[in-house]
């Protein structure tokens, strides 16, 4: 058992990390500045939606395996290892904003009093571990008082706990052998499949790859992973665009592509592009790092450009179908979070689409099962609800933006009976196309000609 502090412990990554490490039997002090979220977490409630999270959290609270505080020095006093999981959003030039990481490190410099391993879990560009080391070294001695380790996070929102307990890999980047062995001890219960509370996703028969490397490679691996996923999305969106022009069917193309074991089927679904808190920002940060190092990332620039154009494809379809003026057109957006299964609306392209439509005078109504509060907090004028019927009834245009299974089950005859026959755009191939056709509804699917 190790005493662990998680800084940024109320965020998506920090909370999953804190809960996950506590479930492995470590004593976790989770620290965050967000008082409201901390108060909720102490009662077993989370502002971050992850399947199964609240029940595991409540159990860990009961057995005092995890505690929450807003006092960083308390977390440092209680801990031999500190995970930093604060946000690293994009600056306007695309570089990662490291101010939260730096603020934490500057405080740690004055708080660490005995050997502590500082683990950077936040996604940070190559070189950031040196920055943290330099800050700590202003008062402390590397190797004696502290070591800094990179342990990038690969969780997918919506399946964050599954990704913690059954990760595709764990990557640890450090120069110090002592720090690496501390990390091995921390993850040992996970590799052995032992937990102190019931976790449905633990599979002790399944071997988890554990990769040790240097800090630079660990940090770059994270950016490479996100750049690759973004590339696949822009790739399939570009194929979808070509497919539409030449009369192809994107579902069949995706199936035919994905069956190639060298390609696989993940991240090959066309849509309005990649949004959310990670892919766009991490790709921009990687492009910035490349440029700063006098390398021209031509391919990643193209990936970003395709993504920027994608929203326009959807708007063009709407105006081609209903006319150039969207003034007072009732438009229903299905899916407001950046993807299904999460309440995260940060950099959601659905919200961006809403803004464009609103600015053209459309009357937009949005549906989401998990993210209505978050969406209206971000966009107070957006009419949003989790009542699907209320959104569909009376809509002149319906745009399906994520793959939530409720959209596959929409009762189209009922929608038609309820009033106007809407024009429908299915950006994710999720709707029941047979039912749409048999009800004589006009629809478009990204990537397939009408
Ligand atoms: N969200 C994801 O899917 C995901 C996946 C992998 C990696 N990451 C990376 O993990 C990092 C965190 O992302 P997130 O989505 O969890 O962000 P988040 O905004 O949900 O969480 C960050 C948390 O840090 C807290 N915080 C900020 N400054 C602080 C400080 N000085 N002291 C204590 N707490 C502080 C905030 O209050 C917030 O709760 C980012 O670098 C991100 O790129 C995110």
What are 424's two structure tokens?
A: 């429908």
Q: How far is the CA of 100 from the centre of ligand 1 (A)?
A: 9
Which pLDDT tens digit goes with each residue over 241-283?
999 999 999 999 999 999 999 999 999 999 999 999 999 999 9
Residue 30 has pLDDT above 70, yes or no: yes
The 3-state DSSP class for residue 186 equals: helix
Q: Is the CB of 155 under 6 A from ligand 1?
A: yes
Residue 419 has pLDDT above 80, yes or no: no
Q: Which of 31, 35, 85, 218 best tests ligand 1's pocket when mutated (most atoms within 8 Å of CB)?
A: 85
Which pLDDT tens digit goes with each residue over 166-194?
999 999 999 999 999 999 999 999 999 99
CA distances from 333 to 354, 367, 401 (A): 8, 6, 7
Whether 30 and 69 have beta carbons less than 8 Å apart is answered as: yes
DSSP 5: E
Q: Which atom of ligand 1 is nearest to the CA of 157?
A: 3
| pLDDT score of 243 | 94
Q: How far is the CA of 11 from the centre of ligand 1 (A)?
A: 5
Could you count the other beta carbons within 10 Å of the beta carbon of residue 328?
9
Q: Is the CB of 6 under 6 A from ligand 1?
A: no
Residue 415 has pLDDT above 90, yes or no: no
Mean per-residue pLDDT for 53-59?
A: 96
Minimal-distance CA residue to ligand 1 atom 28 = 100
Q: Which residues on adjacent β-strands are paired with residue 426?
A: 400, 445
Q: Is the CB of 103 under 6 A from ligand 1?
A: yes
Residue ranges of domains in the chain: 3-213, 229-445
Q: Using CA atoms, how far apart are residues 333 and 273, in angstroms rounded to an integer?
A: 15
Q: How far is the CA of 119 from the centre of ligand 1 (A)?
A: 14
| pLDDT score of 5 | 98
Instruction: Rounding to the nearest 10 degrees, give the CA dihedral for residues 423, 429, 434, 435.
Output: -50
Mean per-residue pLDDT for 41-51?
A: 93
215-246 helix and 250-258 helix, angle to the nearest 10 degrees: 140
| pLDDT score of 448 | 82
Minimal-distance CA residue to ligand 1 atom 21 = 11
DSSP 221: H
Q: How far is the CA of 416 from the centre of ligand 1 (A)?
A: 44
Mean per-residue pLDDT for 99-117?
A: 98
Mean per-residue pLDDT for 43-49?
A: 93
Whether 11 and 86 have beta carbons less than 8 Å apart is answered as: yes
Minimal-distance CA residue to ligand 1 atom 44 = 13
| pLDDT score of 418 | 73
Q: Using CA atoms, how far apart are residues 393 and 367, in angstroms rounded to an integer?
A: 12
- At the top level of CATH, the class of 3-213 is alpha beta
Q: How far is the CA of 110 from the centre of ligand 1 (A)?
A: 22
Q: Using CA atoms, how far apart are residues 152 and 155, in angstroms rounded to an integer?
A: 10
In the set 4, 117, 278, 415, the catalytic residue is 278
Distance spanning both ends of the chain, measured CA to CA? 60
| pLDDT score of 193 | 93
Q: Using CA atoms, how far apart are residues 44 and 55, in angstroms rounded to an integer?
A: 7
Minimal-distance CA residue to ligand 1 atom 12 = 87
Residue 345 has pLDDT above 80, yes or no: yes
| Burial (CB count within 10 angstroms: exposed 0-12, middle 13-18, buried 19+), residue 364 | buried
φ, ψ of residue 423 in degrees (nearest 5):
-90, 140
Q: Is the CB of 8 under 6 A from ligand 1?
A: yes
DSSP 381: T
Q: Percent of the chain having pLDDT more than 70?
A: 100
| pLDDT score of 206 | 85
| pLDDT score of 272 | 94
| pLDDT score of 301 | 98
Q: Tell which residue, 412, 414, 345, has the closest CA to residue 380.
A: 345
Which pLDDT tens digit goes with each residue over 289-331?
999 999 999 999 999 999 999 999 999 999 999 999 999 999 9
| pLDDT score of 290 | 96
As a residue count, the chain comes to 450
CATH architecture of the domain formed by 229-445: 3-Layer(aba) Sandwich (3.40)
Per-residue pLDDT band for 284 (boundaries 50, 70, 90) equals very high
Is residue 206 among the annotated active site residues? no
**Per-chain mean pLDDT for the chain:** 95
Mean per-residue pLDDT for 33-56?
A: 95
Mean per-residue pLDDT for 119-131?
A: 96
Q: Using CA atoms, how far apart are residues 350 and 218, in angstroms rounded to an integer?
A: 32
**Same fold across 3-213 and 229-445:** yes
Q: Is the CB of 31 under 6 A from ligand 1?
A: yes
Q: How far is the CA of 89 from the centre of ligand 1 (A)?
A: 9
Which pLDDT tens digit goes with each residue over 208-251?
999 999 999 999 999 999 999 999 999 999 999 999 999 999 99
Per the listing, tokens 């063009």 go with: 316
Q: How far is the CA of 235 from the centre of ligand 1 (A)?
A: 29
Q: Which helix (H) or strand (E) holds 122?
A: none
Mean per-residue pLDDT for 2-11?
A: 98
Could you count the other beta carbons within 10 Å of the beta carbon of residue 437?
12
Residue 400 has pLDDT above 90, yes or no: yes
Q: Which atom of ligand 1 is nearest to the CA of 281?
A: 43
Per-residue pLDDT band for 121 (boundaries 50, 70, 90) equals very high
Q: Which atom of ligand 1 is nearest to the CA of 282?
A: 43
Q: Is the CB of 100 under 6 A from ligand 1?
A: yes
Residue 450 has pLDDT above 70, yes or no: no
């Amino acid at each position: 058992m190790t005493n662990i502090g998680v800084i940024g412990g109320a965020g998506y990554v920090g909370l999953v990390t804190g809960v996950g490490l506590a479930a492995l039997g470590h004593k976790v002090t989770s620290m965050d500045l967000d008082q409201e979220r901390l108060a909720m977490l102490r009662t077993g409630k989370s502002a971050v939606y992850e399947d199964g999270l609240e029940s595991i959290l409540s159990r860990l609270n009961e057995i005092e395996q995890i505690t929450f505080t807003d006092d960083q020095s308390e977390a440092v006093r209680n801990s031999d290892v500190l995970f930093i999981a604060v946000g690293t959003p994009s600056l306007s030039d695309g570089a990662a904003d490291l101010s939260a990481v730096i603020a934490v490190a500057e405080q740690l410099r004055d708080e660490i009093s005995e050997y502590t391993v500082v683990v950077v879990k936040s996604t940070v560009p190559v070189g950031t571990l040196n920055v943290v080391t330099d800050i700590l070294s202003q008062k402390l001695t590397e190797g004696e008082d502290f070591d800094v380790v990179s342990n990038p996070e690969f969780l997918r929102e919506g399946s964050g706990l599954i990704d913690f307990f059954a990760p595709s890999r764990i990557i640890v980047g450090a120069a110090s052998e002592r720090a690496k062995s501390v990390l091995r001890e921390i993850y040992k219960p996970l590799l052995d499949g032992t937990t102190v509370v019931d976790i449905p996703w633990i599979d002790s028969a399944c071997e988890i790859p554990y990769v040790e490397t240097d800090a630079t490679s660990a940090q770059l691996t994270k950016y490479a992973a996100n750049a690759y996923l973004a590339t696949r999305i822009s790739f399939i969106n570009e194929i979808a665009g070509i497919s539409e022009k030449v009369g192809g069917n994107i579902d069949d193309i995706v199936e035919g592509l994905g069956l190639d074991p060298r390609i696989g089927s993940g991240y090959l679904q066309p849509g309005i592009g990649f949004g959310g808190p990670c892919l766009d920002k991490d790709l921009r940060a990687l492009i910035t790092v490349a440029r700063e190092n006098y390398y021209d990332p031509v391919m990643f620039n193209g990936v970003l450009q395709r993504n920027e154009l994608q929203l326009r494809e959807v708007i063009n379809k709407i105006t081609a179908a209903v006319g150039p003026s969207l003034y007072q057109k009732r438009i229903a957006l299905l899916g407001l979070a950046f993807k299904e299964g999460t309440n995260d609306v940060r950099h959601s392209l659905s919200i961006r689409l809403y803004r464009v439509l609103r600015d053209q005078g459309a009357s937009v109504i949005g549906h989401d099962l998990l993210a209505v509060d978050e969406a209206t907090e971000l966009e107070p004028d957006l009419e949003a609800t989790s009542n699907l019927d209320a959104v569909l009834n009376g809509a002149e245009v319906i745009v399906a933006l994520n793959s939530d299974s409720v959209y596959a089950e929409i009762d189209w005859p009922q929608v038609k009976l309820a009033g106007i026959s809407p024009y429908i755009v299915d950006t994710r191939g999720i709707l029941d196309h047979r039912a749409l056709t048999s009800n004589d509804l006009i629809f478009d699917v990204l990537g397939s000609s009408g």
